[in-house]
Amino acid sequence: MLITKIYKPAEVEKAADELRKGELIAFPTETVYGLGADATNELAVKRVYLAKGRPSDNPLIVTVSSIEMMEKFATDISDDARKLIKHFWPGSLTFVFKIKPGTLSKTVTGGLKTAAFRMPENEVTRKLIELAQVPIVGPSANSSGKPSPTTAAHVYHDLEGRIAGIVDDGPTQVGVESTIIDMSTNKLVILRPGAVTREEIEEVLQKKLDTDHHEVGKDETPKAPGMKYKHYAPDAQVLIVEEGKWEAALNWAKKQPYLVGIMAPGIEEKTLSKNFVFFDLGNNVEQASHNLFAGLRYFDDKKDVKWILAAGFAEQGLGIAYMNRLKKSAGDQFFID
């Protein structure tokens, strides 16, 4: 078994050496921690799927430190795309572009003619990629199906012994993953809602994005393949509690013969019952997004929690990404009065 080292930001050079040798290194971004491997090293990329237990038809994001690095692989970059890159990079917007044939292996792209590219804001990680001199794949650094990691400790918990190291730069800021926008066709479609909102993108482009978001049939190749898998699931069953339903939900929870996790803003009235385990989500959707995955993981350590009641937020702005992740973790189940 591998010993998983924790690297401080100042030790980023050592971590880059490991990447160059084909080892796996988890890295910080402003959204969630990613699991890095040299994107041009087929064997290294294969090991990412194994370490995460990820289905092999689910392609990986290619994480770059510069636009020039991306242009070695991506082609047909439109004027709109350039505008968005200029405005949002480095940052939490991921672009799907057509790739130059033969530049990225099937292991990275899952056999698609496109790939997803992202340049994260975190400076240590951009330094890491620069030093490694190759783009690195960057799926979230969790075991497949579990909540994405927002601290190095989360990564260690899931992947210890399976990866060479983790660059620890503290907790991530945003807490939900990047927004993925498809720029490989004439239609501009958000494939995954995320940290950058639709409104922010439309503001920069001065036009509306397409909303044609059709559900993927059983035999179709999905547009963002990862969206079809089970995701973000803690051990306990999550129930989403909409505004105005808390009183009924807490009354129900009090009567349960086991512990109930409560993920909500504010503390006082929600700690009234002995069988409640409370996790403070924060007071607005930004704080809730920052805390969501840590909260779901928190209850996994409390074995007797059978249900988690989690606060829903309005589906607008960042609330769209927050609710997208929360609904997946809950398998779409809401508390019903």
Binding residues for ATP are 54, 58, 114, 118, 140, 148, 192, 232
C-beta closer to Mg ion: residue 177 or 182: 177
C-beta closer to ligand TXA: residue 66 or 275: 66
Would you count residue 140 as binding Mg ion (CB under 5 A)?
Answer: yes
For residue 53, the tally of other CB atoms under 10 A from its CB is 13
Among 135, 138, 147, 193, binds ligand TXA (CB under 6 A): 138
Choose among Mg ion, ligand TXA, none what residue 297 binds, the Cβ cut-off being 5 to 8 Å by kind: none
CA–CA distance from 33 to each of 122, 155, 168, 208 (Å)?
10, 7, 9, 31
Task: Measure the CA–CA gap between 253 and 273, rounded to whole angstroms.
Answer: 9
Q: Which residues are annotated as a binding site?
A: 31, 54, 58, 114, 118, 140, 148, 178, 192, 232
Among 6, 67, 227, 233, binds ligand TXA (CB under 6 A): 227
Would you count residue 92 as binding Mg ion (CB under 5 A)?
Answer: no
Task: Measure the CA–CA gap between 169 and 8, rounded to whole angstroms.
Answer: 7
Task: Report the nearest approach of ligand TXA to the CB of residue 278 (Å).
Answer: 28
Task: Measure the CA–CA gap between 203 and 152, rounded to whole angstroms.
Answer: 34
Report the residue closest to ligand TXA, judged by CB.
226
Segment interacting with ligand TXA (CB under 6 A) among 156-164, 175-183, 248-256, 306-314: 175-183
Contact 169, 122 (CB under 8 A): yes
Q: Is 228 left (phi over 0), alpha (psi -120 to 50) or beta?
A: alpha
Residue-by-residue DSSP string for 273-301: STTEEEEE--SSHHHHHHHHHHHHHHHHT
Would you count residue 61 as binding ligand TXA (CB under 6 A)?
Answer: yes
C-beta closer to ligand TXA: residue 229 or 334: 229
**What are the contacts of 265-268 at 24+ separation with CB within 8 A?**
265/311
Would you count residue 149 as binding ligand TXA (CB under 6 A)?
Answer: no
Task: Report the nearest approach of ligand TXA to the CB of residue 172 (Å).
Answer: 9
Q: Coil, strand, or helix at residue 14?
A: helix
Task: Measure the CA–CA gap between 280 and 205, rounded to whole angstroms.
Answer: 37
How many residues touch Mg ion (CB under 5 A)? 1
Would you count residue 63 as binding Mg ion (CB under 5 A)?
Answer: no
Would you count residue 116 as binding ligand TXA (CB under 6 A)?
Answer: yes
Q: Regarding beta strands 93-99 and 114-118, do their DSSP bridges make them parallel or antiparallel, or are they unpaired?
A: antiparallel
Binding residues (CB under 6 A) for ligand TXA: these are 29, 31-32, 34, 58-61, 94, 96, 109, 112, 114-116, 118, 120, 138-140, 177-178, 180, 191-192, 223-227
